[in-house]
Amino acid sequence: MYVFDYHRPNSLADAHGLLTAREDAKILAGGMTLIPTLKQRLAQPSDLIDLSACPGLSGITLAADSLTIGAMTCHAAVAANPQVIAALPALASLAAGIGDPAVRNRGTLGGSIANDDPAADWPAACLGLGATILTDSREIAAEDFFLGLFETALEPAEIITAVRFPLPLAAAYAKFDQPASRFALVGVFVARTAAGSRVAVTGASQEGVFRAGDLEKALDRDFSAAALEGVRVSPARLNEDIHGDGAYRAHLIGVMAGRAVSACQ
């Protein structure tokens, strides 16, 4: 690890002030990606700003048409929350499948989407549900938030405070994971909403999370797993590595989408 200064501010305003004033400061949420990156000397921030003492950044609030989850809420808390299980069980299931118990009890929703790892689960939920990312200065639609590989629309000193998820008619997440890391080789989040079907894919693309338009069109005609049979996903620009090539991942997208739709029934 390189040398850095550690800060644990007691308010969001103080955190924002530190982030603005310091030369190359980084936000520390759960640290599940940042700490290993520092240990491997792949990053050299001047300061770490720990948000764990800032009030109002964790918790879950259910409204008539939405579920809002604080950015510092850990995955395990989402998975076990009775309101989430009752109102949007797809999120509870997704959170329960992230990493291992240590990761689920330390990793946070805000940290995951701010990092925007191309194989992370939460970006698929945000994009699949048409969520809104709330920051200390504005609201950003998920469609505009995820810009590509480890890239988001966040400004340099902007801090995520919560994510607001609209409640769908039905939703489910299906993941084919790498057994060691539990990251998604392919993960598909399917939502049936009053405005139409939404299908978001993570783990498969070189450009991060994306919506599968052809699958959405098929589900708009008939929201069933059978409707997806024969819908071909192009392997172009899909990841190719030791775990599988683009054609393999394209096939998995269809399979995982079918499983997610079946789980919605």
Please calculate the CA angle 154-160-161 and round it to the nearest 5 degrees: 155
Fold agreement (5-50, 60-264): no
Euclidean distance between CA atoms 211 and 199, whole angstroms = 6
Task: Give me the pLDDT at residue 253, please.
Answer: 97
Domains of the chain, by residue range, sit at 5-50, 60-264
Task: Give me the pLDDT at residue 89, please.
Answer: 98
Euclidean distance between CA atoms 56 and 51, whole angstroms = 10
Per-block average pLDDT, block size 10, for the chain (265 residues)?
93 95 94 93 94 97 98 98 98 96 96 95 98 98 96 96 98 94 94 97 95 98 96 93 94 97 92
CATH architecture of the domain covering 5-50: 2-Layer Sandwich (3.30)
Q: Report residue 215: phi and psi, to 5°.
A: -70, -40
Domain covering 60-264 in this structure, CATH number: 3.30.465.10
DSSP state string for 101-137: HHHHHH-BHHHHHHHT-TT-SHHHHHHHHT-EEEESS
Q: Is 230 left (phi over 0), alpha (psi -120 to 50) or beta?
A: left
End-to-end CA distance of the chain: 49
CA dihedral 184, 188, 193, 195 (to 10 degrees): 110
Task: Give me the pLDDT at residue 23, please.
Answer: 86
Task: Give me the pLDDT at residue 180, please.
Answer: 85
